[in-house]
Amino acid sequence: MKYSYFPGCSLKGLGRAYEESLLPVMQHLGVELEELPDWNCCGATAYMAVDEGKACVLAARNLALVENSGRQQLLAPCAACYLVLNKTKHYMQDFPAMKDTVDRALSAVGLRYRGNIAVRHPLDVLLNDVGLDAIKQKVLKPLDGLKVAPYYGCQVVRPYATFDDQHNPTTMDRLLETLGATVVRYPLKTKCCGGSLTGTVPEAGLRLVYILHSEAKKRGADCLATVCPLCQFNLDAYHAGLSRQYGPVLVPAVYFTQLMGLAFGLPVQQLGLNRSAIPFRRRPATVAEPTHQAAPAGITPGA
């Protein structure tokens, strides 16, 4: 399986632990990733607010470069990149004026996008191309006893994703269970983390982050599993301010790929776990609750 790989700016910057864990995990599963040469910023949410035409041109340059490379599948791990690249595909299909604008801009530099690239999220590739059976075979150190709150955030499931449910996505839940983890019920799994509002309007942004933490805590989660670099940053980097304002409510936030690496028994140093401000420590197995308890007298097992 070969994919063109679009890291995006975050995976080279504040979210580098995502790339550090994604690459070895994919390699371990036999998924070949080739970084798209000279990829440019997808434009994220910010460029769409300034000029939608240019935002689509930015994204389309990347799609054209993938086509030139002869690949048909593009892996986009960052939620914002995944959304914007897919949005551009939709806009070019749905709005002829937008297609004209993009075609003209690309042709000014001798590029063309014919519409043949599938933009995929790692969760999609892992469940639908690799398969949970193949993943299960690689699990050397099951995450027994680890309680995980699966947090998908907004832009991976809304509005363009076709691989999971918009209201109650379950791909990551099933993946985590395959790794041996216990997935806690987490009704906020698709609620917004505040995006860049944590920095621009902290009063509003940080409150959303706090709500995500306190719910995970209430559900007894040992950690939150994230699929997006901005979600992870928001859940992790503002810990000092959050603790000051709301008290001890924080739960470590890790990328789902880091949990995969741990379960596969990959070297911990290679998974970027040292990049988090809220330290994530795997509970030693001896502390884990015993799985086979004697049934109390008077109660028939399985009744």
Phi, psi of 3 (to 5 degrees): -135, 145
Residue 299 tokens read as 């109660």
CB of 236 to another protein, least distance (A): 9
Neighbours of 77 (CB within 10 A): 29
Cβ(165)–Cβ(157) under 8 Å? yes
| Residue showing tokens 């140093």 | 269
* Binding status of residue 209 toward another protein by CB under 8 A: no
Stretch that binds another protein, among 11-19, 139-147, 214-222, 263-271 (CB under 8 A): 11-19
CA distances from 120 to 71, 72, 112, 124, 221 (A): 13, 10, 21, 6, 28
DSSP element (H, E) containing 147: strand 147-151
Touching another protein, residues 140-169 (CB under 8 A): 154-155, 158-159, 166
**Residue whose CB is less far from another protein, 111 or 130:** 111
The answer to whether 53 contacts another protein (rule: CB under 8 A) is: yes
Total interface residues for another protein by CB under 8 A: 65
CB of 3 to another protein, least distance (A): 21
Stretch of residues binding another protein (CB under 8 A), selected from 102-110, 135-143, 253-261, 282-290? 102-110
List 18, 29, 43, 226, residue binding another protein (CB under 8 A): 43
- Partners of 5 in beta bridges: 35, 75
Residue from 3, 6, 47, 113 touching another protein (CB under 8 A): that is 47
Binding marks (x or -) toward another protein, 177..196, rule CB under 8 A? -------------xxx-xxx
299 binds another protein, rule: CB under 8 A: no
Pick the binder of another protein from 27, 68, 104, 128 (CB under 8 A). 104
**How far apart are alpha carbons 229 and 155 in whole angstroms?**
12
- Min. distance of Cβ 182 from another protein in angstroms? 27
Q: Is 34 helix (H, G, I), strand (E, B) or coil?
A: strand
Residue 66 falls in which region: left (phi positive, over 0), alpha (psi -120 to 50) or beta: alpha
The amino acid present at 282, given as its one-letter code, is R
Return the number of the residue (151 or 238) whose C-beta is nearest another protein: 238
Structural contact between residues 120 and 3, judged by C-beta atoms closer than 8 angstroms: yes
Count the alpha carbons within 13 Å of 39 in the hemisphere toward its beta carbon.
25
Q: Which of 23, 25, 26, 57 binds another protein (CB under 8 A)?
A: 57
Residue 280 is encoded by which pair of tokens?
A: 């994530």
Q: Within positions 248 to 277, which residues make up the interface with another protein, using CB under 8 A?
A: 274-277
CA dist 260 and 137 (Å) reads: 12
Strand order in the sheet with 118-120: 32-35, 2-5, 73-75, 118-120
Instruction: Return the residue of 1, 2, 12, 116 that touches another protein, per CB under 8 A.
Output: 12
Stretch that binds another protein, among 35-43, 69-77, 134-142, 175-183 (CB under 8 A): 35-43
The yes or no reply on residue 170 touching another protein (CB under 8 A) is no
Which positions lie near another protein, rule CB under 8 A? 9-10, 12-14, 16, 38-41, 43-54, 56-58, 61, 91, 94-95, 97-98, 101, 104-106, 108-109, 111, 154-155, 158-159, 166, 190-192, 194-197, 199-201, 203-204, 208, 237-241, 274-277
